[in-house]
Structure formats: structure tokens, C-alpha cells
């Protein structure tokens, strides 16, 4: 069985006002941005990042692509193999 942890990030009302977000919107956005960064740094897979963000994998990868973050991260040797086989 997996244990579900949680993370608390304190923020003030002026951050909400500056960002024009409700508490729920801000928390959802922060979860998404954390997931994007973990994915971008290759710390987690797209599926795991989607779980962190509370989204489906397809929805997460679509949003990540809109941000300009590569959704396929291959090492140079992996890319060479893919191009050779293609």
C-alpha cells in the first residue's frame, strides 16, 4: 500500500491578489508547476507528473507542450537510435 503525503506551502492574501487567483486556483496552479518542473528535470515520468498535478496524462502532456517544455526527452544516443531505425 502506498502512503499519500502532502506538502504545505504558506502564502499570503497579497499573493492571491497579485496573481488574481482564488486559493483553490493558486493551489492547483502550484501543483501543476511543481509537476512540470519535476518532469522537465526528468525526476518523474509524464504519468507520475500528471498524478502530482491531478490531471490525466494526456491533459498534462498537452499543457506541458503549450508551455514549450519538450514532452519527449531522449538522450543523444537514444535519439540517434530512434533516427537510425526510422
- Judged by DSSP in three states, 41 sits in coil
pTM, entire model: 0.78
Q: Quote the pLDDT of residue 35.
A: 97
Say how far apart CA 27 and CA 80 lie, in whole Å: 40
Q: 19 or 4: which carries more pLDDT confidence?
A: 19
Say how far apart CA 76 and CA 9 lie, in whole Å: 37
pLDDT tens figures, 24-76? 999 999 999 999 999 999 999 999 999 999 999 999 999 999 999 988 865 66
Q: Quote the pLDDT of residue 53.
A: 96
CA dihedral 61, 67, 70, 71 (to 10 degrees): 0
Amino acid at each position: 500500500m502506498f502512503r499519500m503525503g502532502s506538502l504545505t506551502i504558506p502564502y499570503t492574501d497579497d499573493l492571491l491578489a497579485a496573481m488574481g487567483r482564488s486559493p483553490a486556483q493558486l493551489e492547483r496552479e502550484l501543483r501543476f508547476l511543481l509537476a512540470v518542473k519535476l518532469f522537465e528535470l526528468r525526476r518523474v515520468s509524464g504519468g507520475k507528473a500528471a498524478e502530482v498535478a491531478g490531471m490525466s496524462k494526456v491533459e498534462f502532456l498537452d499543457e506541458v507542450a503549450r508551455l514549450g517544455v519538450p514532452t519527449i526527452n531522449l538522450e543523444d544516443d537514444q535519439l540517434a537510435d530512434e533516427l537510425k531505425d526510422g
